[in-house]
Structure formats: C-alpha cells, structure tokens
C-alpha cells in the first residue's frame, strides 16, 4: 500500500493498493461487484485503533477479464492461479463530491459559500465523521 499526500495537486490522499488474489475469486466474486466495492483500512496506534472506510476502485483489470473469457472455466480451476489486483482507495466524501452536480440560482452569495455549503451537505449525506476537508478560494 502506498499513500501519497499532495493536497496542492489532489483533493484527498492517494492510496494505491496491490493484492495477489486467487484468479477465480477475482473473476467470480470481486469483478462482478467492481462498482460497489469498499475497503476498510485499520490503523493501529498506541491509544487503540482507527478504522476508515473507502470506496475501492479497481484499476486496469477490465481488459484482462474480458480478453481471457473465463466464463466457462470453474472457479476452483481458476483459483490455482493468482493474479495481481491493483486499486485505489478513495475517501467516500471525496468520491461523492467528484460526481456531484450543482445547478441553480444562488442570489446574494459568493462562489466559495456555495462550494462550502455543497461540501457540508455531501459530508452529511455520506455520514463521514472523519472528513477533514478544508479549502481556500483564491
């Protein structure tokens, strides 16, 4: 797992994860649910542990699965071989903001107040108490 923190170029941590998993499990259990995968990262500290849930985005496996046509091969047979699964953990609030559409007429307000309002509303909808987003409008 690699965590990159560059908030000038990105709005949240970039967490890249690499697994070696049985191919059959990936083809039959993981890949069909690729759009709804979540990952919980647990950080152990002296005072206890901290859990944070992320949306998990699989990277670069579509072509491998489609090109090899594993449909007729039993899961147990495929599980004899391992494959690398790479993905990115995305903060749930940041993921919701990435897809958020904002429209309407906002009278007597500034752009930064609208953006902060949208951030706060999205945070409430995703129920993410760990969200520590801040922004500066230049």
Q: Pick the more confident residue, 138 or 39.
A: 39
Report pLDDT digits (tens) over 95-116: 766 667 777 777 888 877 887 7
Domains of the chain by residue range: 2-91
The two tokens of residue 14 are 């970039």
For residue 125, the SS3 value is: helix
pTM for the model stands at 0.61
Q: Are 95 and 35 in contact (CB under 8 A)?
A: no
């Amino acid at each position: 797992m690699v965590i990159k923190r560059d908030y000038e170029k990105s709005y949240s941590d970039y967490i890249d994860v690499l697994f070696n998993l049985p191919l059959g499990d990936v083809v039959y259990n993981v890949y069909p649910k690729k759009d709804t995968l979540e990952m919980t990262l647990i950080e152990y500290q002296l005072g206890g542990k901290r859990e944070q849930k992320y949306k998990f985005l699989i990277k670069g496996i579509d072509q491998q699965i489609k090109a090899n046509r594993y449909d007729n091969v039993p899961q147990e047979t495929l599980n004899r071989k391992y494959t690398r699964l790479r993905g990115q953990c995305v903060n749930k609030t940041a993921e919701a903001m990435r897809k958020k559409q904002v429209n309407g007429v906002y009278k007597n307000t500034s752009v930064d107040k609208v953006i902060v309002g949208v951030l706060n509303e999205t945070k409430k909808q995703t129920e993410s108490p760990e969200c520590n987003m801040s922004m500066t409008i230049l």
